[in-house]
Amino acid sequence: MHNEIEKVLISEEEIQEKCKEMGAELSKEYEGHFPLAIGVLKGATPFMTDLLKRMETHLEMDFMDVSSYHGGMESSGEVKIVKDLDTKVEGRDVLIIEDIIDSGRTLAYLVDLFKYRKANSIKIVTLLDKPTGRSADIKADTVGFEVPDEFVVGYGLDYQEKYRNLPYVGVLKPEVYGG
């Protein structure tokens, strides 16, 4: 375990097992289709690659980077596109892949955008869900693990751009935040 991690919440083995299960489930759901899998940068990339390796249907991959603006202490909920897709969404079966859903604002924005762009269907798969943090009316179709309202890092999730490359999800020691 990394010496700045206080505890591991979800082990590498548990994550890999979950990717296998979710991949099998999604393969059935998309059988005979050619979904457009959209990873939300940067956090979703480790999950996206592990999950999609477990899918047997043909699929296309693309990436989108969005940022949320936070005014003062409160999150304004304003989402801005930093990198848009290279692929047309119209008529496509879109599978949005996220690392974690907290307030749900990022996904609410993306779902509205892909509806506006006339996707044929939209599904959300997230590795982690923090249901207690929710303010937007959004629900994932497939959730890997529910996590408590704690700040987690690893497997794509960062603190100041670090820890994304950990193979597990964990909680940092308080002193890392200067606490």
Assess 143 for contact with ligand 5GP (CB under 6 A). Answer: no
Assess 152 for contact with ligand 5GP (CB under 6 A). Answer: yes
Closer CB to ligand 5GP, residue 11 or residue 135? 135
Q: State the catalytic residue, choosing from 102, 129, 137, 149.
A: 102
> Left if phi > 0, otherwise alpha if psi is -120 to 50, otherwise beta: which for 36?
beta
Instruction: Tell me how far apart the terminal alpha carbons of the chain are, to the nearest angstrom.
Output: 21
* Burial class of residue 94, CB neighbours in 10 A (0-12, 13-18, 19+): buried
Q: How many residues bind ligand 5GP (CB under 6 A)?
A: 17
**Measured from the CB of residue 103, what is the shortest distance to ligand 5GP in angstroms?**
3
Binders of ligand 5GP among residues 28 to 57 (CB under 6 A) are 43
Assess 120 for contact with ligand 5GP (CB under 6 A). Answer: no
Beta-strand relationship, 152-153 and 74-83:
unpaired
Decide: 105 and 68 in contact? Cβ < 8 Å: yes
Assess 151 for contact with ligand 5GP (CB under 6 A). Answer: yes
Active site residue 102: yes
Binding-site member from 106, 142, 169, 170 for ligand 5GP (CB under 6 A): 106
**Measured from the CB of residue 1, what is the shortest distance to ligand 5GP in angstroms?**
17
Assess 99 for contact with ligand 5GP (CB under 6 A). Answer: yes
Among candidate residues 111, 109, 95, 101, the one with its CA nearest the CA of residue 43:
101
Among candidate residues 121, 126, 110, 127, the one with its CA nearest the CA of residue 35:
121
Active-site residue set: 102
